[in-house]
């Protein structure tokens, strides 16, 4: 159990805890990687998983918080980041392109390392993933990417977006709502033979990257924003969270990713929906049972209301008093930040029917990342 007041010493102790969880190099995790585990409690399955997603996610949040930390903590964050980013090349595209994979990529004759430390999936080429926009965005955001590299990435993404021209025909997304199928939204995957797929939370990370470089909006950006706006207006992230975001799949996580984008950039087409998101987050707080999800909703409210609280200041303050990150036991056994649906990429309608079932999914757990989310909550409270 954590201490009871979010003072400087407590914040630094959390950063020290995060640093202690970073691998020094062992049989499962290279030096600088933050250990995570994929699991399915219904199948009594758990394996150590070497991926770049959680490591890059941790570095991203720590870097966002760094300027609000005392010097001693800033130096520790700098050391954590330095150790982490040295791993990025091993996750880079196998042919040397500047896109990134969830798992270490095969180079110099090495075998693919998908589903590491497993006994079945790692031997099937079907479960080998192409590079994706989520890991690529997080790596670019946490490394010294140039504007030229971002422009190159944006042009490459158009080749894999919805309604792009495939080898024989125009490719169109199938596993989304009908009213979004005509939008030129960026797909999750870079693979030529991978189905077009939309993931709203991954798209928030991608748009965060583009906004941070102040690139002008093209038709793909505008359609991606229209997709996110449609999900907010129709509240589909509440009624159909898995269909909206296969890899995050909860309403609090969708609100959290939007709040990161809106918390930093107030001039996107999403700005008109800031008040709606505050209202939705307040409602979700009343019904949410998972402790870590409540922390994410609190953090979201703090980010969203910093520019304008729209008269909800008292309600937001009440939500902050209701549940404290300082009383949270980590890891939270009921919480999953990132999941891997084994059947979501199939276009077969029967397999799509089973894709949302938890028994067909892997949960990825990372203790250090949950500490980072708590740290973010405490620092956001101190800002307001």
Helices (H) and strands (E) in the chain, counts: 15, 4
In a domain, 61, yes or no: yes
CATH code at 232? 1.50.10
Question: Could you please report the per-residue DSSP string of 122-187?
Answer: GG-GGGPPPPBHHHHHHHHHTTT--HHHHHHHHHHHHTTSTT-B-SSSB----SS-GGGTTS-PPP
Tell me whether residue 111 is in a domain.
yes
Other beta carbons less than 10 A from residue 234's beta carbon: 14
Would residue 1 count as lying in a domain?
A: no
- The pLDDT tens digits along the chain (384 residues) read 343 344 678 899 999 999 999 999 999 999 999 999 999 888 888 999 999 999 999 999 999 999 999 999 999 999 999 999 999 999 999 999 999 999 999 876 566 676 667 556 554 455 568 999 999 999 999 998 999 999 999 999 999 999 988 665 688 998 899 999 999 999 999 977 788 999 999 999 999 999 999 999 999 999 999 999 999 999 999 999 999 999 999 999 999 999 999 999 999 999 999 999 999 999 999 999 999 999 999 999 999 999 999 999 999 999 998 887 777 889 999 999 999 776 556 556 665 655 666 666 789 999 999 999 999 999 999 886
Q: Are 64 and 348 in contact (CB under 8 A)?
A: no
157: phi then psi, degrees, rounded to nearest 5: -60, -30
Assess if residue 3 is contained within a domain. Answer: no
Q: Calculate the alpha carbon distances from 191 to 173, 194, 195, 237 in Å.
A: 14, 5, 8, 26
Q: Is residue 55 part of a domain?
A: yes
CB contact set of 151 (below 8 Å; sequence gap of 6+): 215
pTM for this model (two decimals): 0.93
Structural domain contains residue 64: yes
Residue 2 lies in a domain: no
Q: Which domain holds residue 308?
A: 8-383
Which of 154, 162, 211 lies closest to 187, judged by CA?
Answer: 162
Q: How many domains does the chain have?
A: 1
Residue 238 token pair:
């509440």
The answer to whether position 225 is within a domain reads yes
């Amino acid at each position: 159990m954590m201490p009871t007041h979010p003072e400087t010493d407590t914040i630094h102790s959390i950063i020290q805890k995060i640093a202690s969880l970073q691998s020094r190099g062992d049989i499962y995790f290279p030096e600088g990687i933050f250990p995570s585990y994929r699991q399915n409690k219904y199948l009594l399955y758990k394996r150590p998983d070497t991926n770049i997603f959680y490591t890059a996610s941790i570095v991203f949040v720590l870097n966002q918080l760094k300027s609000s930390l005392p010097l001693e903590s800033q130096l520790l964050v700098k050391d954590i980041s330095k150790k982490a980013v040295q791993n990025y090349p091993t996750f880079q595209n196998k042919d040397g392109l500047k896109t990134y994979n969830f798992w270490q990529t095969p180079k110099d004759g090495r075998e693919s390392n998908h589903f590491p430390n497993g006994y079945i999936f790692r031997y099937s080429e079907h479960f080998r993933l192409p590079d994706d926009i989520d890991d690529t965005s997080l790596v670019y955001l946490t490394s010294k990417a140039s504007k030229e590299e971002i422009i190159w990435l944006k042009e490459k993404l158009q080749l894999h977006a919805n309604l792009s021209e495939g080898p024989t025909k125009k490719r169109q997304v199938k596993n989304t709502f009908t009213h979004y199928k005509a939008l030129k939204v960026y797909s999750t995957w870079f693979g030529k033979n991978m189905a077009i797929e939309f993931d709203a939370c991954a798209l928030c990370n991608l748009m965060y990257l583009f906004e941070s470089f102040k690139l002008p909006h093209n038709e793909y950006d505008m359609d991606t924003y229209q997709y996110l706006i449609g999900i907010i207006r129709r509240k589909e992230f509440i009624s159909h969270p898995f269909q909206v975001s296969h890899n995050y799949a909860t309403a609090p996580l969708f609100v959290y990713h939007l709040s990161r984008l809106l918390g930093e950039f107030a001039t996107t087409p999403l700005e008109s929906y800031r008040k709606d998101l505050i209202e939705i987050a307040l409602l979700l707080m009343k019904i949410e049972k998972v402790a870590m999800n409540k922390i994410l909703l609190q953090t979201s409210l703090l980010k969203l209301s910093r520019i304008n609280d729209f008269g909800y200041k008292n309600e937001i303050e009440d939500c902050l008093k209701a549940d404290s990150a300082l009383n949270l036991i980590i890891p939270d056994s009921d919480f999953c930040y990132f999941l891997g649906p084994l059947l979501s990429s199939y276009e077969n309608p029967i397999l799509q029917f089973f894709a949302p079932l938890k028994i067909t999914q892997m949960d990825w757990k990372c203790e250090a990342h949950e500490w980072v989310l708590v740290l973010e909550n405490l620092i956001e409270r101190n800002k307001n």
